[in-house]
């Protein structure tokens, strides 16, 4: 069986995978760049923590409530994002991140600098691992359903060309809000798991640097693809454990990595047009050819 | 009642009058040509009709209903489809997926219908038929950005037809096409008219626009300087002045 340390790291990675999948829906599919995704994660975590500690709401009832509330706040916060595109959208989402974090930090209701502690996890660590795994699988299923649906097609058409999408019958405002609602709802799920796993949360956990880490995951793995989001979350989730001796330079390494990827593999490791998937496709075609001719 | 009625339509861009109290109308089933020198306001007019721009003043009525305050997707749903002068395909989508996006206009409004799978055989088959109608079905699996210009333009027409439009706005569909390509496109435009689609055609290719249109509106600096049959337009001194007069001054 897995050791306690491995389980802890695995749960963290599971939460990161959910975050990467959720940001990938907003930024990868719908093309709405967000540099403030940790804000939605934080809203989910604080909502979950408050429900649990102030109102004694059990884990399984708090779960749908947290997802719904985060999705609702996410769609409200999307409204200022509707009027801006690209770099201005990036700046707006950074602003949202700082505002949300400041609210957690300075409004006494949210525990101020002390954060919120005393959240009781309903599971043992190993059960928590299995629960997280199930939620990751559910998120993957949701993602697969989304990309095959008309809604997913509408989201991707916004990324490709907003004007062309609009004149093709895509309600731009509705589907942008939908992307933010789904993405922030899933980030709320990640926040719910995080709050109950850590049992203590504070505003520092959900700052701008965390948003960059989540964005790095999908850029590194391959933006706009599910496999890329998962791989990026796994690699960048494991990296701090491996690089623990050089943890102080983590930001430097992430930054360097991002620049390297942008220069040499802008599609990420597993992006559709990246080197590895292309090699894989060639190998698969050649590998299959003899089988076809033989049978 | 006119099928499409544009009345005293003006558009100012920071003091520049791109359109100045433009009046014209279109009857159902008609092909109306719009010509004019560069910067005459032709594309601005399309952008306003299709909801991408709001007019500064004036109204547009489509089948008697005002549409100048509607959003682009609402105008698309109402049955007005358009193409762009510089192609605007969904670059990284396949040709087939490009058409599917517009076919989705029936499914986007409802929550349940938009949650359904889009790659069903019925939808894919319908998209293929549209591609066949404009003659790009051979490219259905290609990535749109890799298409030659002529096929990109035809793809845009297929995408526009996926909206099942009753009015089609074509912005310089002949530009950059080879002779045979533009002949084929002219044939397609005539077939679409026979199927009952009304068409407004912006075109610099005079031969094509004169052959296809029943009526022509001439714009210059946002003002309508002439309107009439191709024969009337060809001999109109003001039109000749707008096109040729200025070149003489330069020379």
CATH number at residue B231: 3.40.50.300
Closest CA to A208 of A99, A105, A78, A114: A99
Residue among B114, B115, B163 minimizing CB distance to A168: B163
User: At residue A289, does pLDDT exceed 80?
Assistant: no
Strands B31-35 and B198-202: parallel
Query: For residue B84, is it within any domain?
Result: no
User: At residue A288, does pLDDT exceed 60?
Assistant: no
pLDDT at position A292 is 43
- Residues B14 and B124 placed together within one structural domain of the fold: no
pLDDT at position A1 is 53
Per-residue pLDDT reduced to its tens digit, A186-203: 999 999 999 999 999 999
pLDDT at position B162 is 97
Per-residue pLDDT reduced to its tens digit, A62-105: 999 999 999 999 999 998 888 887 788 989 999 999 999 999 99
User: At residue A227, does pLDDT exceed 90?
Assistant: yes
Confidence of residue A261 (pLDDT cuts 50, 70, 90): confident
- Residues B159 and B177 placed together within one structural domain of the fold: no
- Residues B66 and B17 placed together within one structural domain of the fold: yes
Which one-letter DSSP state was computed for residue A103? H
Output the CA–CA distances (angstroms, integers) from residue A179 to A41, A66, A153, B77, in the order listed: 15, 17, 12, 22
Burial of residue B91 (CB within 10 Å: 0-12, 13-18, 19+) is middle
User: Is B88 touching A (CB cutoff 8 A)?
Assistant: yes
* A155 in Cβ contact with A178 (< 8 Å): yes
Q: Which residues of B touch A267 (CB under 8 A)?
A: none
Element (H, E) at B219: strand B215-220
Taking the CA of residue A166 and the nearest CA in chain B, the distance in Å comes to 5
Longest dimension (CA), chain B: 64
**Average of per-residue pLDDT across A280-295:** 62
- When the pLDDT of each residue in chain A is averaged and rounded to a whole number, the result is 90
Smallest CA–CA distance from A161 into chain B, residue = B90
Q: Which of B128, B149, B164 is the last residue of a domain?
A: B164
Strands B57-62 and B4-13: antiparallel
- Residues B74 and B94 placed together within one structural domain of the fold: no
Smallest CA–CA distance from A155 into chain B, residue = B101
- Residues B124 and B248 placed together within one structural domain of the fold: no
Q: Which residues 131-190 on chain A approach chain B with CB closer than 8 angstroms? A: 145, 148-154, 156-157, 160-161, 163-175
Domain enclosing residue B35, as ranges? 1-79+166-251
pLDDT at position B241 is 83
ipTM of this complex: 0.92
Residue among A149, A153, A163 minimizing CB distance to B52: A163
Q: Taking the model in full, what pTM does it have? A: 0.90
**CATH value at residue A26:** 1.10.3470
Confidence of residue A293 (pLDDT cuts 50, 70, 90): very low
Taking the CA of residue B194 and the nearest CA in chain A, the distance in Å comes to 23
Smallest CA–CA distance from B78 into chain A, residue = A169
User: At residue A290, does pLDDT exceed 60?
Assistant: no
User: Is B72 touching A (CB cutoff 8 A)?
Assistant: yes
- Residues B170 and B74 placed together within one structural domain of the fold: yes
pLDDT at position A148 is 96
| Residue in B78, B114, B144 to test binding to A, most A beta-carbons within 10 Å | B114
Query: For residue A294, is it within any domain?
Result: no
pLDDT at position B166 is 97
How far apart, in whole angstroms, are the C-alpha atoms of residue B198 and residue B200? 7
B100 vs A153: CB contact, 8 Å cut-off? yes
Domain enclosing residue A101, as ranges? 4-288
pLDDT at position B245 is 64
User: Is B124 touching A (CB cutoff 8 A)?
Assistant: no
B203: left (phi over 0), alpha (psi -120 to 50) or beta: beta
Q: Which of B109, B137, B164 is the last residue of a domain?
A: B164
Number of domains forming the structure of chain B: 2
User: At residue A110, does pLDDT exceed 70?
Assistant: yes
Query: For residue B131, is it within any domain?
Result: yes
**Average of per-residue pLDDT across A8-24:** 97
- Residues B176 and B156 placed together within one structural domain of the fold: no
User: At residue A255, does pLDDT exceed 90?
Assistant: no
pLDDT at position B29 is 95
pLDDT at position A245 is 75
User: Is A239 touching B (CB cutoff 8 A)?
Assistant: no
User: Is B46 touching A (CB cutoff 8 A)?
Assistant: no
**Average of per-residue pLDDT across A93-121:** 93
- Residues B73 and B58 placed together within one structural domain of the fold: yes
Closest CA to A230 of A141, A158, A159, A155: A141
- Stretches where chain B sits below pLDDT 50 are 247-251
């Amino acid at each position: 069986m897995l050791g306690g340390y491995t389980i802890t790291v695995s749960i963290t990675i599971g939460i990161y995978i959910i975050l990467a999948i959720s940001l990938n829906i907003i930024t990868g599919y719908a093309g709405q760049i967000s540099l403030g995704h940790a804000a939605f994660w934080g809203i989910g975590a604080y909502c979950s923590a408050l429900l649990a500690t102030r109102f004694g709401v059990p884990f399984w009832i708090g779960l749908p409530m947290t997802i719904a509330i985060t999705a609702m706040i996410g769609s409200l916060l999307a409204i200022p994002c509707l009027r801006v595109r690209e770099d201005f959208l990036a700046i707006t989402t950074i602003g949202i991140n700082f505002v949300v974090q400041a609210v957690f930090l300075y409004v006494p209701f949210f525990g101020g600098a002390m954060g919120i502690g005393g959240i009781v996890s309903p599971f043992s660590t190993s059960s928590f691992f299995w629960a997280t795994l199930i939620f990751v699988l559910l998120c993957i299923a949701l993602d697969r359903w989304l990309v095959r649906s008309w809604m997913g097609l509408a989201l991707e058409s916004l990324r490709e060309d907003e004007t062309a999408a609009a004149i093709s019958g895509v309600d731009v405002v509705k589907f942008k809000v939908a992307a933010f609602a789904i993405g922030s709802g899933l980030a709320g799920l990640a926040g719910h798991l995080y709050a109950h796993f850590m049992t203590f949360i504070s505003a520092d956990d959900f700052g701008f640097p965390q948003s960059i880490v989540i964005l790095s995951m999908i850029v590194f793995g391959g933006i706009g693809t599910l496999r890329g989001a998962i791989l990026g979350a796994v690699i960048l989730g494991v990296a701090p454990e491996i690089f623990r001796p050089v943890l102080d330079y983590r930001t430097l390494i992430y930054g360097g990595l991002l620049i390297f990827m942008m220069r040499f593999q802008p599609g990420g490791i597993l992006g559709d047009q990246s080197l590895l998937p292309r090699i894989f496709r060639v190998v698969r075609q050649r590998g299959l050819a003899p089988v076809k001719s033989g049978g | 009642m006119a099928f499409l009625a544009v009345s005293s339509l003006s558009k100012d861009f920071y003091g520049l009058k791109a359109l100045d109290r433009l009046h014209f109308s279109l009857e159902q089933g008609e092909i109306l040509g719009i010509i004019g020198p560069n910067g005459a306001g032709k594309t601005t007019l399309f952008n306003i009709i299709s909801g991408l721009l709001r007019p500064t003043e004036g109204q547009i009525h489509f089948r008697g209903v005002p549409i100048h305050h509607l959003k682009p997707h609402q105008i698309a749903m109402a049955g007005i489809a358009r193409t762009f002068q510089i192609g605007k395909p969904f670059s990284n989508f396949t040709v087939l997926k490009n058409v599917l996006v517009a076919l989705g206009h029936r499914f986007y409004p409802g929550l349940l219908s938009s949650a359904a799978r889009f790659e069903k055989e019925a939808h894919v088959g319908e998209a293929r038929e549209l591609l066949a109608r404009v003659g790009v079905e051979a490219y259905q699996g290609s990535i749109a950005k890799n298409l030659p210009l002529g096929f990109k333009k035809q793809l845009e027409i297929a995408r526009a037809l996926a909206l099942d439009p009753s009015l089609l706005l074509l912005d310089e569909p002949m530009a950059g096409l080879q002779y045979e390509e533009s002949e084929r496109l002219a044939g397609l435009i005539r077939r679409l008219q026979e199927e009952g689609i009304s068409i407004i055609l912006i075109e610099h290719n005079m031969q094509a626009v004169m052959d296809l249109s029943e009526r022509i509106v001439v714009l210059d600096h946002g003002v309508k300087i002439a309107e009439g049959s191709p024969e009337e337009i060809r001999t109109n001194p003001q039109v000749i002045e707008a096109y040729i007069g200025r070149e003489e001054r330069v020379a």
